[in-house]
Structure 1
C-alpha cells in the first residue's frame, strides 16, 4: 500500500524513522525512493578525517558534480575535523590534503549543496589555513544560507567575510583565549537581515553591542539591526545600552553574570529598572539566572517588572539562599515568584534555579508547601523535578478547592513536550 500513498503522507511517515530505516525504505521501489530521498539526504556530516582517503575524495567528487542526493536535498551541513586516526597516524584532528586538488574540490563540493539553510562549523586551532579559507569561500556561494553556528576552539581566526543573507548567527568560544572580534563585528554589522544572535564564551562582547547600537542610528531603515532573539553569557553596560536603544526583543537569554559582584548588581538594577520595560510588549522567553547570589536573582522589587511581560511563555530565574531558607512563608522568594507567575497569562514553564544544594532543598519545600486559589497552567521546573498545580487533598481525604503543586512524572507527555526545543 505504501507506494500508492501521496508523497506528503510518505514523507510524514519517513520523518518519524531513523536514518537507517529511511535507507531501507528507499530501496523498496522507485516511488518510495523519490519520496524519502529529501529526508534521507537532508543532513550531511563533513569530517576531515573521512575525506582524506580515496573513498572520501570519491564522495567529494560526486558532490562536486551533483551526482549524489546531498547535492540536491541537503539543508543542514555540519563541518568538523574529526579525530579518528588512520593506521600509523596520531590521534589528532587532521584535514591535511591527500593531493593538491582537495582545496578546490572541497569548495566545489560544499557549493554544490545549493539548498543548504544551516551550517554548523567546528573550528580548531590545528586546522590548516587552507581549510578555513575553503569553507569560508564556499559559504558565500550558498544562496539559502540563513543560519550559521560556529564553535571555536583555540582562539583561531575564522577568515570569514560578511554574509548579508544570514538571519541567525551563533558564535560559541569554549576557552578563555581571544576570539576574532573584528571579524565577528564585520559579519554582524553587515547582517542586515540578522534577527537572532547568540555569543557565548568567557569574553567581553562589548565591541559587538557597541557596533549594533550604532546601526540603530543609521538613516536607512534597511541598514538597522534590531535583534529579536539575543543570547550571551557576559552582561555588560554596552549590551544593556543596545537593548535600551529599541523595542521588540522576543527571546532574551542572559545566562551568566561574570565579574565583580558590585558591578553585576548595578547591571542587574539597570536591567530590571530600565531595560526590561523596553521589551515588555514583545518578550516571549526570558532567561536570566545569576552565576552567584546577588541582584540578578528574583526579589520583591523586580516583581512589578516581570508582571509587565504579558506575552511571556518561558521564564528562568534564580533565587538567593537568604531569601528562601529560614524566611517567613509570606516573604519567601519562591512563594513570591510562584504568585507572580500565576498572574502571567501566557506562561507555560517557570524554571527556578539556585546556587547551592541547601537552597535547592528550600526551593523544593517552598513549592510543595505552596497553596493558591489562582489557576495557572504553567509547569514549574527545579532542574530534575517538575510540578503542576492541581486541587489539593483536604484533611478528610476529599478534593479541596485550594490548589497545590504536585510532582509530575518526568516521562509524562507534558514534561517531555517541554524538553523539545522549538
Structure 2
C-alpha cells in the first residue's frame, strides 16, 4: 500500500509527478502531505500584485512570520512581471515604507534560495530594486541567477558563488549593465553556465573574461549576438559542452562568412572532444549553414548528443548529385555519430530578404527549401543505423530498417538498408 512506503519513496514518487498534481497528492493523508512538503514548497512566485496591492499582502505576511513551508523548503524564487495594475488597485496599495518593511521580513525568511528569477523593468520602484539586490547578496546558497532587464541598472555587487548566470534584454534596448555583468562574471570563480540574449553587444563581457580571469572555463554558453570577441574567448580554452549560437548573423554576407569561418576553423576544433550540444542555425544564408566547407568538422564531434543547423537553398534545392546535397551529406555524417540523439535542420532566410517583412516571397523560399529537405530525407538510404530523432519543419523522423514490399514477420524482408520514417503522423 502507498502508506506503507517510506517518506523517501513517497518523495521519489512525487518527484515524477507534474507540479499541478502536488496539491492532490498532499490531500491524500497526513503522511503524504508531510512527504510532499519539500516539493510543494520548493518554488514560490511573487508578482507585482503581491508587492503593491493589499489583496496580495497575505502571502507576504505569511512569509514574514517564518512559519510557512516556503521559509523552510523554498529553493527557487521568481519575481514575475504580473498583470497591469489598474487605478482602483493602485489606490489600495500600502505605503512604500510599510511595503518595504513587510517585503524585507518576507524575503529574509527564505534564506535557502539557490535559484532566483527576476523580471525587472522601469516600473519597479528604486527602493524595491535596491532591497532585492541586498537580499541577493545576502543569500548564502545562491548559484543560479536569471534576470530579464528592461532599461534599468541594478546594483548586484559581488555574487561570487554563482554557477549559472542568465541575462535577457529586450531586442529594442541596450543593456545598461554590460560592465557590471562583466565584473560579476569574472568574480564568480565557480561560473560554468552563461546565457546572454537581446540587442546588446556583449563584446566587453567576452574580452573581460578572457583577459582578467582565464581560469573560468565556461561549460555552457548561449547567446544571439556573435562577435569577434566572443569567438576569441571561445578559442582561448577547451572543454565547452553546450554551445548555442542563436541565429548567428554578422549583418551582411561578408561579415557572416568571416565570423562563421573563424568559428568552424578555430573554435570548433578546440571543443571537439567535449561538445555534447551544438546549435548554430543561421538567420540568413551564409557559411554558418551546413555544407561541404564544415562537414568534416561537424562529423568529428563524436560526443555530440544534440545538433541544430541550417542549410542554404543553393545546397539543397535542385541538386541532382547526392554527394553535393548538404542534407544528404549531413545525414551520412549523422549515422557515424554514435552519441547523437537529436538533429534539427532549418531553412535559413535568403540574403536578399534582409530587412524585408514576412511576405509571400519569404514563405515561398522556405517552402521550396523544406520541400527539398523532406524529399532528401525520405529518399535517404544507409547501411548504418542512427538513434537520432530528426526534426524538419515541425515533423519528426526516425531511421528504421527498410523492408521489401510484401514481406511478413518482424524481421523478415530486411534488405540491409535503413531509411527515415515520419513518426508524428
Q: Match of 2:232? A: 241
Q: Is the 8 A contact 1:71 1:112 kept in 2?
A: yes
| Equivalent residue, structure 2, for 1:415 | none
1:170 paired residue among 163, 166, 179:
166
Is 2:261 the counterpart of 1:269? yes
1:228–1:249 CA contact under 8 A, matched in 2: yes
Aligned to 1:289: 281
Q: Counterparts of 2:22 and 2:218 in 1: how far apart (Å)?
A: 38
Deviations 1:332-389 (A, max 9, x none): 1000000111111211111111132211111111100111111211111114111111
Instruction: Work out which of the residue numbers 344, 357, 374 in structure 1 matches 2:337.
Output: 344
2:30 match: 30
Q: 2:122 aligns with which of 119, 122, 125?
A: 125
The correspondence for 2:306, drawn from 309, 314, 327, is 314
Paired residue total: 400
Does structure 1 residue 357 correspond to structure 2 residue 367? yes
2:82 equivalent in structure 1: 82
**Residue in 1 that maps onto 2:414:** 399
CA distance in 2, matches of 1:311, 1:371: 24
| Post-superposition offset of 1:78 | 0.9
CA RMSD of aligned residues (A): 2.1
CA shift, 1:27, in A, is: 4.5
Distance 1:24 1:387 in 2: 37
- DSSP-derived class of the 2:138 partner: coil
CA distance in 2: counterparts of 1:96 and 1:140, whole angstroms: 28
Instruction: Give the SS at the match of 1:293.
Output: coil
Q: What's the CA shift string for 1:173-228, capped at 9, x where partnerless?
A: 123212021221121121111000010112211000000111355xxxxxx21100
**Aligned partner (choices 191, 205, 223) of residue 194 of structure 1:** 191
Partner of 1:372: 382
1:151 and 2:155 correspond: no
User: Shift of residue 145 of structure 1?
Assistant: 1.2
Asked if 2 retains the 8 angstrom alpha-carbon contact of 1:104 and 1:134, the reply is no
CA contact (8 A) 1:216 1:245 kept: no
Instruction: Report which stretch shifted further, 21-30 or 243-252.
Output: 21-30
Unpaired stretches in structure 2, ≥5 consecutive residues: 349-365, 408-412
8 Å CA contact retained: 1:235, 1:257: yes
SS of 1:315's equivalent? Answer: strand
Closer, same or farther: CA 19–233 of 1 in aligned 2, 3 Å: closer
In the TM superposition, residue 230 of structure 1 has moved relative to its aligned partner by: 0.6
* Secondary structure in structure 2 of the residue aligned to 1:156: coil
Q: Where in structure 1 are there 5+ consecutive unaligned residues? A: 218-223, 411-422
Residue 252 to residue 163, structure 1, CA distance change in 2 (3 Å):
same
Moved more, 192-201 or 386-395: 386-395
Distance 1:95 1:288 in 2: 50
1:138 aligns with: 135
1:131-165 Cα distance to aligned partner (Å, 9 max, x none): 21111111112111111111123x21122222110
How far apart in 2 are the matches of 1:16 and 1:95? 41
Query: 1:261-296 CA distances to partner (integer Å, 9 max, x unpaired)?
Result: 211101100111111100111111011110000100
- Contact map agreement 1:95 1:128 (CA 8 A) in 2: no
Q: TM-score, normalised by structure 2?
A: 0.89
